Amino acid sequence: MCWRPSGSRLVRSCYDDFLPAEIDFNQHLGIRVVRHHKDGVTISCDLRKELHNMSGVLHGGVTATLVDVAAGMALMHRGQKATTVELKINYLRPVTGRKVTARSRFVRIGKTLVTAVVDVFDDHKNRAAIGIVTYMLLGAQ
């Protein structure tokens, strides 16, 4: 667990050293990197009631965020800056339990565009969603 300064005190950060601590949105959700892979990363997030929808399951917007963040963090780990240009998700089952994980895999890294697939799993390792994300590399020629 990393620590980062916040004003005059230290606060916990859920990020590995390569991730900027100022991404407060991801930190607010409690997203953390679990494992680095050659072709992507695995992230996880502990579930809490604030992340549930009215039916008491993980909100679809949080699932979409996990898909985007898993692929985006993998790009950051490679030292590449990018912005999302397209995101598609198929929701396969509701997520309940205590934790959700997302595993990204690069499909293609081109000169200007990157495509990744992301599998989202509940804490019983059931696939709950699958997403495909396309990014535009920033600063690409």
The predicted structure's pLDDT at residue 60: 94
Average pLDDT over residues 37-45: 95
Asked if the model's pLDDT at residue 46 lies above 90, the reply is yes
Average pLDDT over residues 40-52: 94
What is the helix (H) or strand (E) element at residue 27, kind and residue range?
helix 24-29
The predicted structure's pLDDT at residue 11: 46
Quick check: 140 and 80 in contact, CB under 8 A? no
What is the helix (H) or strand (E) element at residue 92, kind and residue range?
none
The predicted structure's pLDDT at residue 28: 82
Asked if the model's pLDDT at residue 21 lies above 80, the reply is no
Average pLDDT over residues 81-107: 96
Report which of 78, 102, 108, 127 is spatially closest to residue 26, judged by C-alpha positions: 102
Asked if the model's pLDDT at residue 111 lies above 90, the reply is yes
Q: What is the CATH number of domain 2-137?
A: 3.10.129.10
The predicted structure's pLDDT at residue 41: 96
Asked if the model's pLDDT at residue 18 lies above 80, the reply is no
The predicted structure's pLDDT at residue 25: 79
The predicted structure's pLDDT at residue 26: 82
The predicted structure's pLDDT at residue 122: 96
The predicted structure's pLDDT at residue 141: 52
Asked if the model's pLDDT at residue 87 lies above 50, the reply is yes
Domain locations in the chain as residue ranges: 2-137
CA distance 103 to 39: 10
